[in-house]
């Protein structure tokens, strides 16, 4: 009798270990923490900008802005691209990781499997942050549009970094402010002899992050978001950006910048794998599993 009980316990133990190892080894239960190591660089001159227009990309966070108006035109575009590109790619990868995390949660919900408290909290926070009405709507809002389109808008709106709004407010996208509660600055438009308020950002990464959030939430970009969810190209998406600017030829100008500067080559640019770091190792995953279930 005692021997039978031991055999049963041993079988149960082996079965439990098999389930645990299978769950942990395949990352089916714990979503691995995503982290990119970023080199922080203070901009003191044009020499501070690392020229990198090829993949893989070294993730850089620049503090401070550069007066691109003083840089010779022949060098300006290359420097502006290298200044903007890391921030855009870093944010794109962060949004794609958010999307994968949401799909991970969705998969567990569909299969009626347990969710950790931190996954539920993440899901709720994302729903609120993006004003999403459903899980599918959240995924559509999170999915980022191509690097080429973001880069072209930054180039046009900032005049390749020569505008006052860019140099004084670190605002490459010309995003306006309509609330006193926002960090903002007043600017005069000489041609129209009117004053506007533009959003101020502490660095270019913050500006890119808000730009993606801006286009993810406003109802005027709903068709644009649905089209990008269908994996449309920049040249297709740009036709749905009429609400971004009053100019009637805005879409044409953006498309011209993309084509003339061959920006679409940046759509597949990736971050150097050496800069990725997943914080949880195998033993931590096993420990977390036991804490949650036992």
Rounded CA-CA distance 211/259 in Å is 22
Domain boundaries, the chain: 1-33+281-294, 39-277
3-state SS record for 42-77: ECCCHHHCCCCCCCCECCEEEECCCCHHHCCHHHHH
Contact 187, 164 (CB under 8 A): yes
CATH domain 39-277 topology: Lysozyme (1.10.530)
The pLDDT value given to residue 27: 44
Residue 22 pLDDT > 60: no
186-220, pLDDT tens digit by residue? 998 776 678 889 999 999 999 999 999 999 999 99
**pTM, two decimal places:** 0.84
Q: Identify the weakest region by mean pLDDT among 20-29, 33-42, 183-192.
A: 20-29
Of residues 68 and 11, more confidence is placed in: 68
71-89, pLDDT tens digit by residue? 998 899 999 999 999 999 9
134-175, pLDDT tens digit by residue? 999 999 999 999 999 999 999 999 999 999 999 999 999 999
CB 2: neighbour CB atoms within 10 A? Answer: 6
Q: What is the largest CA-CA distance in the chain?
A: 95
Average pLDDT over every residue of 232-247: 86
At 55, is the pLDDT very low, low, confident or very high (cuts 50, 70, 90)?
A: confident
The pLDDT value given to residue 54: 80
């Amino acid at each position: 009798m005692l021997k039978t009980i031991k055999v049963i316990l041993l079988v149960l133990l082996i079965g439990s270990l098999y389930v645990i190892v299978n769950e942990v080894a395949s990352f089916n239960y714990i979503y691995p923490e995503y982290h990119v190591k970023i080199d922080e660089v203070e901009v003191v001159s044009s020499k501070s900008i690392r020229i990198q227009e090829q993949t893989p990309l070294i993730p850089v966070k620049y503090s401070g802005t550069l007066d691109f108006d003083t840089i010779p035109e022949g060098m300006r575009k290359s420097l502006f691209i290298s200044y903007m590109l890391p921030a855009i790619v870093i944010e794109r990868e962060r949004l794609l990781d958010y999307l994968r995390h949401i799909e991970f949660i969705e998969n567990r919900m569909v299969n009626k499997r347990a969710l950790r408290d931190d996954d539920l909290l993440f899901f709720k926070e994302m729903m609120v942050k993006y004003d999403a009405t459903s899980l599918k709507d959240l995924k559509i809002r999170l999915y980022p549009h191509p690097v080429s389109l973001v880069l072209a808008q930054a180039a046009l709106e900032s005049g390749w970094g020569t505008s006052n709004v860019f140099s004084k407010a670190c605002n490459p996208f010309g995003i306006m402010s309509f609330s006193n509660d926002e960090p903002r600055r007043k600017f005069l438009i000489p041609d129209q002899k009117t004053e506007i308020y533009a959003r101020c950002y502490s660095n270019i990464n913050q500006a890119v992050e808000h730009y993606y959030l801006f286009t993810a939430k406003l109802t005027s970009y709903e068709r644009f978001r649905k089209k990008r969810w269908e994996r449309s190209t920049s040249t297709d998406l740009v036709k749905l950006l009429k609400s971004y600017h009053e100019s009637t030829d805005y879409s044409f100008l953006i498309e011209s910048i993309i084509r003339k500067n061959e920006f679409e080559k940046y759509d597949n640019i990736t971050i150097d794998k050496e800069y990725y770091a997943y914080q949880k190792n195998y033993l931590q995953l096993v420990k977390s599993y036991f804490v949650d279930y036992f």
